[in-house]
Amino acid sequence: MEMMKRVSHRQASQLLHNKFVLVLGDSIQRAVYKDLVLLLQKEKFLSNKQLRTKGEMCFEQDCLVEGGSLTLMHNGTGYKEVRQFQSAHHLVRFYFVTRVYSPYMQSIFDDLRNGLKPDVIIFNSCVWDISRYNSSWLDNYKENLHMFFAELKGIVPQETLVIWNLTMPLGKTIKGGFLVPEVEHKASQLRYDVIEANFYSGTLADAYGMDVLDLHFQFRLSLQHRIVDGVHWNALAHRKMTSLLLAHSAQAWGVIMPLAVVEHAEVAAQLPASGNSKPAKRHASRRRNDGCREEFSRDSWSFGSLNDPPPPAHYLPPHLKHGFDYRPPNHHHQQNVLRSRQARRHYAPYTQPRRRRYNHHGHYY
């Protein structure tokens, strides 16, 4: 029986207590933002409608700050959507981006220079970069990655946890908002281009001291949770992504956060009825990964994990723990994840509340 490790609403809420989380990227990253916003409020999964909808004025108590349905909705490279969720102890913001470095990205950097600094940045930009701008995408993409990582490193404090997500596996047949008729001829090759782009982006992110979460590796055998467009994923997959991201954040901060292990069937029973998910065919051959060749189904370039014993836990009052133990940040590599070599100073989120420095509706800085 297929099993899944899942983070709970209470764990997510406590781990991100008094934290500012910034999510940057395309429609996959928008769903990452949505699942996190939902989990911070309740123990529920995203509905199919919530996964498909973009640019709405409000999603689960968040607000649309810029773009989306406030302007003309389209599938062009200039589409903008800025969303923000704020509660008494959480701030989560999302920027839709179609290119890793651009004049629009420079305007986002201006927001970061002049405003509140994020505690966590979750980012990916790949599929639009390698399909919509230049047929010879590699050199341009690598140059933009260099400029993005270099500028970001000079803006955010050293304590900010920056997680670069590698792009998830694409299907053999794909369709989506980014795939306009002018670039449809690239569809059959795009899943291989993503693997090459992942190699360069992950290597560069690690070289710049960012953390790298290899979602391509993590989901290479979970293709049954990818929906029929060959690009997007269902609510179960997005909850797994959220759990991976929060588990990685907990480890980087020296927090022991045990995840609940549940059967996929048990979790699927809680999901809304779905007609848009198509199980992947299973074959005995290693070629079962939806056309990916065998050499592409391994995480051949990720670093291994170290097995040193963990340091002793810091003291935290029992009534504040709720399943957490605080430990000094360590330098261990999580399995299948490239990790930064720098330890991060981390404040205890239950004992050092932050002043409110942002408005609740429609404004950010």
The residues that bridge with 93 in the sheet, in sequence order, are 22, 84
Helix segments in the chain, DSSP class H: 9-15, 27-39, 48-52, 103-114, 127-132, 137-155, 187-207, 215-218, 235-252, 264-268, 318-321
| Domain boundaries along the sequence of the chain | 3-338
Radius of gyration from C-alpha coordinates of the chain: 20
Gap between the Cα atoms of 252 and 159, Å rounded: 10
Q: What is the pLDDT of residue 132?
A: 85
Q: What is the pLDDT of residue 266?
A: 59
Q: What is the dihedral of CA 93, 108, 111, 155, to 10 degrees?
A: 100
Q: What is the pLDDT of residue 183?
A: 62
Question: Is there a contact between 165 and 29 (Cβ–Cβ < 8 Å)?
Answer: yes
Q: What is the pLDDT of residue 174?
A: 83
| DSSP helix/strand/coil, 82 | strand
Question: Is there a contact between 166 and 212 (Cβ–Cβ < 8 Å)?
Answer: yes
Q: Residue 136 phi/psi, 5° resolution? A: -100, 80
Question: Is there a contact between 235 and 150 (Cβ–Cβ < 8 Å)?
Answer: no
The residues that bridge with 82 in the sheet, in sequence order, are 66, 95
Q: What is the pLDDT of residue 179?
A: 64
Can you say how many angstroms the Cα of residue 341 is from the centroid of all Cα atoms in its chain?
21
Question: Is there a contact between 360 and 228 (Cβ–Cβ < 8 Å)?
Answer: no
Tokens standing for residue 55: 């640019």
Gap between the Cα atoms of 98 and 93, Å rounded: 17
Local mean pLDDT, 10-residue blocks, the chain (365 residues): 79 97 97 98 96 96 97 92 97 97 97 95 95 86 97 95 96 74 71 95 96 96 92 95 96 89 64 50 37 30 30 36 40 43 46 38 42
Tokens standing for residue 332: 């261990």
Q: Residue 175 has what DSSP assignment?
A: -
- The gap between the terminal CA atoms of the chain, to the nearest Å, is 47
| DSSP helix/strand/coil, 330 | coil
CATH topology of domain 3-338: Rossmann fold (3.40.50)
Nearest to 326 by CA among 257, 249, 258, 254: 254
Q: What is the pLDDT of residue 5?
A: 80
Nearest to 198 by CA among 222, 214, 174: 214
Can you say how many angstroms the Cα of residue 365 is from the centroid of all Cα atoms in its chain?
22
